[in-house]
Structure 1
Amino acid sequence: MKDTFKSILTLCLILISFVSMNAQQKRKMENTALLIIDVQNDYFPGGKMTLEGAEKAAKNTQDILKYFRENNLPVVHIMHIATDDGAAFFIPDTHGVEISSWVAPKSDEKVLVKHFPNSFRETDLLQFLQAKKIKNLVITGMMTDVCVESTTRAAFDFGFTNTVIGDATATRDRELNGQVIKAAEVQRSFLAGISTLGNLYARIVSTDDFLHGK
């Protein structure tokens, strides 16, 4: 009888702990929105600007998106359309410019079109977030060292607290003075840069850690 009572008590404590943790996580997510930046077909194999690890980043972004949808939290899909002469990708009215099926928007989710790396520049992103009383941003997308980085820094300047899901972003090899810098190095360097000085611009976490409330 005592063993049965102990087992029931242990189970109850586990359930209470789980409910408490879930409630704490939901409170942490108040006034929080997800930004999905430029997860578009041209960045994937067969596209005009293929990124290293694009599919892995998209899968992780999909998992984060699922979490936001299940918890009825705001989601913003950001889509880049090239308007400058000589642009090589994200050309209007092409398959490559379309948002990937990995993270296809639902009809009630905001889709924002931009023409610059910084998602706030000449868009209504700031006004939308302010209207929703958003204070915290969870940021995923592509490319890490261009649109993700510039949007994150701009968001900080506007007073948002940022979390970047590091393994839900991707980039490609770069070249400097004839030397190739591999994508993995670019990725680490830029994530390190925006999290410098005690996560000044953003806290960097993995998909798994975020989904487990870390």
Structure 2
Amino acid sequence: MPTLARALLVIDMQEGLFNGAFHGNPAPFDGQRVLANITGLIAKARQARAPVFAARHVGPPGSPIEPGSPLTQLLPALAIDADVDSVFDKRRPNCFTGTDLAQRLARANVGEIVIVGMKTEYCVDSTCRAAGDLGFKALLVEDAHTTMDTPVLSAASIIEHHNRTLSGPFVKLVRTADCSFEC
């Protein structure tokens, strides 16, 4: 049986979330560093010829994040190419719910998913938790996901908590510098 591939999954790195335009969200914690880490991981994935998947969170027609709206556009710095990369819309926090992501990964012979993006406590968390249930090994890049401060917790605390909570039962933690796309 052939070795299963490792793919990169970029979650919700889109204009409306990252640049604070949706519901007046503040900018994400350490956003420029996280964006640089993600673009570096995209470059590593491309160099290794690993598949890149990019999720966009969308809402219903008429909402500020309706499909195709400016707020759902992926950040240009990512240089995601819809002709080469697998771009898909989702309506739920979990990237697998209501999408064909699992089928796309299976068609690409992917067994391991490197997860990055935002927001840590919503879409990153729920996708990490679901991946194993669907038969995928998940690697969470601990310095390549982010969120915003809340009235209860700082973004730094949310990220630290999720890295610790998810590590072991749901994901293997890796750092950007140590992440490769060789299985």
The normalised TM-score by structure 1 is: 0.75
Larger Rg: 1
Q: Select the structure that is richer in helix.
A: 1
Shift in alpha-carbon separation, 1:38–1:46, aligned structure 2, 3 A: closer
Aligned residue in 1 for 2:161: 189
Shift of 1:95: 2.1
**Aligned residue among 92, 109, 112 for 1:136:** 112
Task: State the distance in 1 between where 2:67 and 2:98 align.
Answer: 18
Q: Note if contact 2:114-2:141 (Cα within 8 Å) is conserved in structure 1.
A: yes
After superposition, residues 16-95 of structure 1 pair within 5 angstroms as: 31-48=5-22, 49=25, 50-83=27-60, 90-95=65-70
> For 1:111, what is the secondary structure of its paired residue?
strand
1:162 and 2:138 aligned? yes
Task: State the distance in 2 between where 1:110 and 1:97 align.
Answer: 15
**Aligned residue among 174, 188, 191 for 2:150:** 174
The normalised TM-score by structure 2 is: 0.87
Which structure 1 segments of 5+ residues have no match? Answer: 1-28
Q: Note if contact 1:140-1:168 (Cα within 8 Å) is conserved in structure 2.
A: yes
Deviation readout 1:94-149 (Å, 9 max, x if unpaired)? 32211001213112111011000000001000111112221111111000110011
Aligned residue in 2 for 1:96: 71
Choose between structure 1 and 2 for higher RCO, CA contacts under 8 A separated by at least 6 residues.
2
Task: State the distance in 2 between where 1:110 and 1:146 align.
Answer: 21
Task: State the distance in 1 between where 2:169 and 2:90 align.
Answer: 25
Shift of 1:173: 1.4
Task: State the distance in 1 between where 2:156 and 2:132 align.
Answer: 25
Task: State the distance in 1 between where 2:32 and 2:65 align.
Answer: 18
> For 2:110, what is the secondary structure of its paired residue?
coil
**Aligned residue among 161, 171, 177 for 1:208:** 177
Percent identity for Structure 1 against Structure 2: 29
Which structure 2 segments of 5+ residues have no match? Answer: none
Q: Note if contact 2:143-2:175 (Cα within 8 Å) is conserved in structure 1.
A: yes
Q: Note if contact 1:44-1:55 (Cα within 8 Å) is conserved in structure 2.
A: no
Task: State the distance in 2 between where 1:152 and 1:212 align.
Answer: 18
Q: Note if contact 2:94-2:127 (Cα within 8 Å) is conserved in structure 1.
A: yes
> For 2:156, what is the secondary structure of its paired residue?
helix
Q: Note if contact 1:43-1:54 (Cα within 8 Å) is conserved in structure 2.
A: no
> For 2:179, what is the secondary structure of its paired residue?
helix
Shift in alpha-carbon separation, 1:194–1:167, aligned structure 2, 3 A: same
